[in-house]
Structure 1
């Protein structure tokens, strides 16, 4: 991917989830999207059709924040999302959202690398459990791009 935007939120009574990206080395600059809008628990649109959603970054005048496609270091002030709610009434096969339980523990050990760029940790036999039996609730989301 050369460009990838994703977000979710609630706008009044409408939960929205969106995903937009441009493929690396695509000379046609085709935009691929996944969009979901609901109201009162009813899905209004769940689509991967590019005509159902347009996403553009916005920024102050004379800055690079609104440049599209963006370049490294460009930070937008926000996004303009244009959903086509008349693309609607498709069953929610492209996007699904559900809640579930989350359990886990936080561990560290002497063999835990400190120079990893992400939060990945390797576990060894001498691990030290900082927090165990943690429980919570999470929201799962699935975007389907292919039929």
Structure 2
């Protein structure tokens, strides 16, 4: 497998969100155009869903110490192909994983091919025409990139994704598990985050999402989601006992800990049962050294100590900001 990374700088990012009216029937569209220039002065971060809709921007503006991004991914059942697209509104001063630039509107694409694509170089393009569009009921999202050169809101915890991209002349086409969320903050990421574990998986009839965030100060914060393939949601919460995520090796981690070989994820369902899952880090698909890694890998687990469920698949990541 070979992974490639491409970054674009956008002139502006225009977002259209749709929310119910006060009577819950008609819907109205709200359009917000986020300029590429950084704002000066204080801004406001919205911690709850507002009238603009669940997936609307969570910042009143983007200054040098804030970040907001919309994340989309999909991976193939055989784990040899994946696509991750992230629409950022931030600067490197707030989120140091984006390329250094004075432009706050950026798009990053990470693609994993089963074999090496045609030789190419990556670059930055202004006015690239990259966009995403969601249906009013959030049932589908469409992502397109029209370029000749080429806080957490869990909006779509599990979906069927269809990918058909041509990147540097090589076609990436597959169907598989897909996911979408939004993240934001009003303070620089490295000053607030010590470690961060997130992932989503399919295991037997279950769709899983886990998130564990250890802040620089204060207790661990978590959230989880489990749904059966019949549509029943078995867990969706952010209480302290909702999920426990631990890497193989040292916890809390530091940048000297190295990458883990996997994770143990223990979920508590709404009815009190437990789902204990082991996730294996098999394919490293994004690598920023000691501070960040993203993987695909296998999953197995037991529901309330019952039979072992095997052959699950996952895509997951970690940030480690403590030296």
Structure showing the higher strand proportion among its residues: 2
Structure with the greater relative contact order (CA < 8 A, sep ≥ 6): 1 or 2? Answer: 1
Q: Could you state the TM-score of these two structures normalised by the residue count of structure 2?
A: 0.23
Q: Could you state the TM-score of these two structures normalised by the residue count of structure 1?
A: 0.50
